[in-house]
Amino acid sequence: MLQMPFKPRAQILLQLGEQLIKNENIAILELVKNAYDADAKKVVVNMRFIDSKDIGYIEIRDDGCGMSIDIIRDIWMEPGNSHKKGVVERKERSELGRLPIGEKGIGRFGVHKLGKVIELVSKMEGRQEVALNIDWRIFENAEYLSDVNIDIQEREPEIFKDGKTGTYIKIRNLSTNWTRGMLRNLHRSLTALNSPFDSNQSFKVVLKTDKLEWLEGLISFKDIKEYALFECDMKLEKNEITKFEYNFRPYDVMYGISKRKVVFDKTVIMRKRVNKNGKNDFEDINLSKYEIGDIRIKIYAFDRDSSILNNFIPDKAAFKNYLDENGGISVFRDGMRILDYGEPDNDWLGLDLKRVNAPTKNLSNNIILGAVYLDRDNSGALKEKANREGFIEDEAYQCFKNAVEFALGQFTAQRNIDKETLRVSLSGGAKEPVKEEISEIRKTISNAQMDKGLRIQLENSLIKVENELEFLKQRYIKTANAGMSYGIVIHEIEKIISELKIAVKAEGTSRKIKTLAAHLSRVVDSYAELLRNKSKVTNSLVDIIKQALFSVEYRLNAHEIEIIDEFSEYQGNVDVKCASNMIVGAIINIIDNSIYWTTYAKKPERKILFKITEEIEGVIGIVIADNGIGFKISGEDAIKPFVTTKANGLGLGLNIVSEIMIAQNGTIVFPEKGDIDLPQELQDGAVVMLAFSKE
Kindly report, residue by residue over 277-290, the tens digit of the pLDDT. Answer: 655 567 889 999 99
Specify the pTM.
0.55
Rounded to an integer, the average pLDDT of 431-449 is 65
3-state DSSP call for residue 322?
helix
Residue 1: is its pLDDT beyond 80? Answer: no
* DSSP secondary structure, 1-52, as one string: --------BTTHHHHHHHHHS-SHHHHHHHHHHHHHHTT-SEEEEEEESTTS
Kindly report, residue by residue over 297-310, the tens digit of the pLDDT. Answer: 999 999 988 888 88
Hey, how many other C-beta atoms are within 10 angstroms of the C-beta on 466? 16
Q: Side chain identity at 556, as an amino acid letter?
A: L
pLDDT for res 30: 83
Task: Please tell me the total number of residues recorded for the chain in this structure.
Answer: 695
Residue 447: is its pLDDT beyond 90? Answer: no
State the pLDDT confidence band at 479, using cuts at 50, 70 and 90: very low
For residues 81 and 44, the model is more confident at 44
Q: Write down the architecture of domain 12-215 according to CATH.
A: 2-Layer Sandwich (3.30)
**End-to-end Cα distance, the chain:** 50
Kindly report, residue by residue over 47-76, the tens digit of the pLDDT. Answer: 999 999 999 999 999 999 999 888 888 777
Q: 13-22, 491-500, 551-560, 679-688: which range is least confident on average?
A: 491-500
Q: How far apart are CA 60 and CA 50, in angstroms?
A: 14
State the pLDDT confidence band at 485, using cuts at 50, 70 and 90: very low
Rounded to an integer, the average pLDDT of 636-663 is 70
3-state DSSP call for residue 251?
coil
* DSSP secondary structure, 332-372, as one string: EETTEEETTTTSTT--TT-HHHHHHHSTTTS--GGGEEEEE
At the top level of CATH, the class of 537-693 is: alpha beta
Rounded to an integer, the average pLDDT of 224-238 is 93
Kindly report, residue by residue over 238-269, the tens digit of the pLDDT. Answer: 999 999 999 999 998 887 888 989 898 888 88
pLDDT for res 387: 64
pLDDT for res 390: 84
> What's the DSSP call for residue 534?
-
pLDDT for res 610: 95
In the sheet with 606-613, reading across from the earlier edge strand, the strands are 561-566, 606-613, 619-626, 687-693, 666-669
Kindly report, residue by residue over 583-627, the tens digit of the pLDDT. Answer: 888 898 898 888 888 886 777 898 999 999 988 888 899 999 999
Q: How far apart are CA 168 and CA 186, in angstroms?
A: 19
Q: Which residue, 163, 93, 100, is CA-closest to 126?
A: 163
Averaged confidence pLDDT in the chain? 79
pLDDT for res 231: 95
Residue 43: is its pLDDT beyond 60? Answer: yes
State the pLDDT confidence band at 202, using cuts at 50, 70 and 90: confident
Residue 233: is its pLDDT beyond 90? Answer: yes
Do 12-215 and 537-693 fold alike per CATH? yes
State the pLDDT confidence band at 370, using cuts at 50, 70 and 90: very high
Residue 104: is its pLDDT beyond 60? Answer: no
Residue 139: is its pLDDT beyond 80? Answer: no
Q: How far apart are CA 99 and CA 77, in angstroms?
A: 21
pLDDT for res 482: 38
Residue 342: is its pLDDT beyond 50? Answer: yes
Residue 372: is its pLDDT beyond 70? Answer: yes
Q: 31-40, 143-152, 208-217, 624-633: which range is least confident on average?
A: 143-152
pLDDT for res 167: 94
Q: How far apart are CA 653 and CA 588, in angstroms?
A: 9
For residues 487 and 127, the model is more confident at 127
Q: How far apart are CA 469 and CA 476, in angstroms?
A: 10
Q: 100-109, 304-313, 677-686: which range is least confident on average?
A: 100-109
Q: 116-120, 364-368, 468-472, 504-508: which range is least confident on average?
A: 504-508
Kindly list the distances between the CA atom of residue 452 and the CA atoms of 9, 446, 455, 515, 619, in Å, as whole numbers in the listed order.
83, 10, 5, 17, 56
pLDDT for res 675: 84
Rounded to an integer, the average pLDDT of 425-453 is 64
Task: For residue 666, give every residue at least 6 positions away whose Cβ sits within 8 Å of its Cβ, in sequence order, or none.
Answer: 576, 578, 619, 690, 691, 692, 693
Are the CB atoms for 184 and 214 separated by under 8 Å? Answer: yes
The domains of the chain are located at: 12-215, 221-383+391-426, 435-529, 537-693
> What's the DSSP call for residue 383?
P
Residue 477: is its pLDDT beyond 90? Answer: no
Rounded to an integer, the average pLDDT of 385-400 is 86
Per cent of the chain over pLDDT 70 is 74
Per cent of the chain over pLDDT 90 is 25
pLDDT for res 131: 92
pLDDT for res 426: 74
Q: How far apart are CA 458 and CA 258, in angstroms?
A: 44
Hey, how many other C-beta atoms are within 10 angstroms of the C-beta on 579? 19
pLDDT for res 483: 37
